[in-house]
Structure 1
Amino acid sequence: MIHIDYVTFDCARPYELASFWSEAAGLAFHPETGKDDDEVLLVGKTNLLFIKVPEGKTVKNRVHLDVTGAEGATRDQEVERLLTLGATVQADRRNADGGGWVTMLDPEGNEFCVCRSEAEAKQG
């Protein structure tokens, strides 16, 4: 059995992208992180690592994060909060019955999906 230590993002601006995800996920910067570092680590239940690479993103992600809002937040509330942090909506896949998700892009264009919370899923 393996242990996954980090989910890693290749990016142009590690500190700026990590700042978005820090706010989005409530993760803390590793104490040795500097704003000009080529590698920036956010620590928490899931560690996110941001590494500077020279090439830009050219195709759809083959792996992405599925997220839900903080306890008590609905999917729609979380989408609105993430928009204020700098994310954009790529595709709205919400259904009239309350199911579905919203595919969003972080500030560097990495896809992630906002899903219904566990409480919402139980309701409908």
Structure 2
Amino acid sequence: MSARLEAINITCRDHAASGARWAEILGLEPEGDITSANDFITYRIPGTEVYFAFQPPDNGEVGDTFVPRIHLDAVASGNTREQELENLLTRGMKLVVDARTADGAGWFTVEDVDGTQICVGRSDEERAAAKAAREGSS
């Protein structure tokens, strides 16, 4: 039972400038149109399916109240999203956001004792099954 990393999300004061700086430092590849970034800018780590996503602060906070944040996005791997939640809870993580929906979509967010968060979505197999079910009912 595990989770497969999809993205490393960094909240920063100026997400466009930070993204460009880290892309240059780490040799990241732009993903999509990074010139018209409103919510976030995404760069792929070369040779992987993992992204860095740079996003602006929540609620526009940039003054003294701003706290930089890194959180991880993952999908269940070798198990279901529900099994991964149980796995993470038994490892001492705490559920802080439950954005799972009745139709099976969505994700949950857990954090460790230091407040580092990881959001986990459905496995690739769960996503494929949901897509096949939608296409079969059309």
What's the TM-score, normalizing by structure 1?
Answer: 0.50
Q: Which has the larger radius of gyration?
A: 2
Using the size of structure 2 for normalisation, the TM-score is 0.45
Instruction: Identify the structure with the greater strand proportion.
Output: 2
| Structure with higher helix content | 2
